[in-house]
Amino acid sequence: MREKPFAITLDVGSSLANHTGTWRTERPTYVHLMPPCNNACPAGENVQAWLYEAEEGNYEQAWRALTADNPFPAIMGRICYHPCQTACNRAELDEAVGINAVERFLGDEAIAQGWRFHQSETLSGKHVLVIGAGPSGLSAAYHLRRLGHEVTIRDLAPLAGGMMRFGIPSYRLPRGVLADEIRRIEDMGVTFELGQRVESLEEPLDAFDAVFLAVGAQLGKRAYVPAGEAAKIVDAVTMLHDMEGEEKPQLGRRVVVYGGGNTAIDAARTAKRLGAEEAIIVYRRTRDRMPAHDSEVREAEEEGILLKWLSTVQHADAGKLVIEKMELDESGFPQPTGETEELEADSLVLALGQETDLSLVEGLEGVEIEGGVVKVDERMMTGRAGLFAGGDMVPAERTVTVAVGHGKQAARCIDSWLRGEEFVHPERPALATYDRLTTWYYSDAPHKARPLIEPARRQGTFDEVVQGLDERSAMYEARRCMSCGNCFGCDNCFGVCPDNAVKKLGTGAYMYEFDYDFCKGCGLCVEECPSGSILMVPEEG
């Protein structure tokens, strides 16, 4: 704790009455820092702001604060891998705030209550075409419509959703939830032209004021596996896509999935639900190097999915596979050993990654392709004026949340370009780190885990596995937020100041201010601020 400066006695009748003098070297100031959850969110959500509303029971206000950045809280509350929670400062105290669970609660509440989006009352007269009805395209359309532009979405598929519909199984994302959140965007006046292939970009670039390309990675990576004529080999992307059709994939009683990502996990769990007695994932590295998320792997193991590490498929034939054992070299790269074994399998599902179909932009003047993705500038614009791209088409991590964030960013850049302006990213404040917090004010409060249906019930049904929180648990979880780096009106500074130098202003972004005529610069307010939203700064002058 800082040493308090000596007291000064002033003649109250003098002109210096109540002033601190010139000896103060530092003064406290209120700051707004970047919460780590906000900083880590690929969709750019103001997580702390909507958690604040949720903990007060203001659910619609919380939902509207959330959807100002991300129109899919019910979807994201189910499929996002919540990097916000990985970054959460609370994890250093006990456990991270269950941000994703609260997001889902708000999304489900909005569906139940029938809340709808507001849109701009002022129309720009501009018309934007979005190609691709996946998360990035839908997000861009939503934000462009809010900004006052007319928007049309075109997609080859008969239903909107992209990989959210055709790549994520319904036991993770129920189709009714997906439909409800897409319908809100359509209700804003966005036009959907589904089942339509865009053959060329020349006509759209002439007919529309701007075009946003959001074609997802919907092609399974080609991989050569030596195989006999009777071997049944399918790629995981096609298999999961076909789950949306009337005829489900016929995989047999023993299914082997080759790969180690989330798609491999989804394929194996889906095979079990289709009736496979045995589903085995073959992966050439070890568990710690598997890109699939821990929660997905854990749920798969609970459902009886077997995982075979340090193995690769050497040959496929009718009813069997030849598996070669691998070993890791000094750099951690798998190397063949020459040791093989046979594995019974009616079908082999390849889940070795996904690629984007770039045929639409190949050879288009001004558009550069490098490493299987389209090059864009800081405005997300390609080399062709008015043609923007995002999501899986550009260099970035391929997740739904990243794609949603790209859609929002592209909409802002397109809006600025249409108005003849340059979009300027807001300056990011300093990060609110754990060491800034006074954590003894926060009692130990472990997070509320979301319930799961029993493993025995999962294997024969596509019912949703992970359940949501009830209202009481969701509010409890929201209240675990420590408001890192931002004042939440706790009155600590007001109560501990020995000099009555803190004035209460009421509600809003700034709830207090310092009267520096009284402040002695002791720093007690800084030391007792739970959220770390007061800093000592050098005295001016």
Architecture of domain 1-32+486-541: 2-Layer Sandwich (3.30)
pLDDT digits (tens, 9 = 90+) for 88-98: 999 999 999 99
Residue 471: CB atoms within 10 A of its CB come to: 11
Q: Across residues 267-273, what is the average pLDDT?
A: 95
SS3 for 386? coil
What count of other Cβ atoms lies within 10 Å of the Cβ of residue 495? Answer: 10
Name the phi and psi angles at 421, rounded to 5: -120, 175
Asked whether the beta carbons of 320 and 330 are under 8 A apart, the reply is no
Please state, rounded to an integer, the average pLDDT across all residues of the chain. Answer: 90
**DSSP letters along 453-465, please?**
--HHHHTT--S-S
CATH superfamily label, 223-352:
FAD/NAD(P)-binding domain (3.50.50.60)
Q: Rounded CA gap, 403 and 387, in Å?
A: 17
5-9, 64-68, 177-181, 206-210: range with lowest mean pLDDT: 5-9
C-beta separation of 441 from 483 below 8 A: no
CATH 1.10.1060.10: which residues of the chain? 41-116+439-468
Q: Which residues of the chain does CATH 3.30.70.20 include?
A: 1-32+486-541
Can you identify the CATH homologous superfamily of domain 41-116+439-468? Answer: Alpha-helical ferredoxin (1.10.1060.10)
Q: 10 Å Cβ neighbour count for 52?
A: 21
The alpha carbons of the chain give a radius of gyration, in whole angstroms, of: 28
Give the list of residues 6+ apart from residue 232 with CB closer than 8 angstroms, or none: 251, 252, 318, 346, 347, 348
31-42 residue pLDDT tens: 999 999 999 999
Sign of CA dihedral 210, 116, 77, 275: negative
3-state secondary structure of 405: helix
Does pLDDT of 9 surpass 50? no
Q: What is the pLDDT of residue 338?
A: 92
- Answer yes or no: is pLDDT of 225 > 90: no
Question: Can you tell me the distance from the alpha carbon of 277 to that of 138, in angstroms, rounded to the nearest whole number?
Answer: 38
Residue 338 corresponds to which tokens in the numbers above? 């020459």
pTM: 0.90
Q: Are 137 and 206 in contact (CB under 8 A)?
A: no
Mean pLDDT across the stretch 371-383?
90
CATH topology of domain 127-219+355-418: FAD/NAD(P)-binding domain (3.50.50)
pLDDT above 90 covers a percentage of the chain that reads: 74
Residues of the chain within CATH 3.50.50.60 domain(s) are 127-219+355-418, 223-352
Structure tokens at 147: 């900004």
Higher pLDDT, 426 or 212: 212
Mean pLDDT over residues 257-262, rounded?
Answer: 94
Quick check: 301 pLDDT over 60? yes
Q: What are 219's two structure tokens?
A: 């092609």
Helices 47-55, 99-113: axis angle to 10 degrees equals 70
Least trusted range by pLDDT, from 25-39, 155-169, 182-196, 359-373: 359-373
Distance of CA 258 to the CA centre of its chain: 27
Question: Which of these ranges, 55-64, 266-275, 369-378, 429-438, has the smallest mean pLDDT?
Answer: 369-378
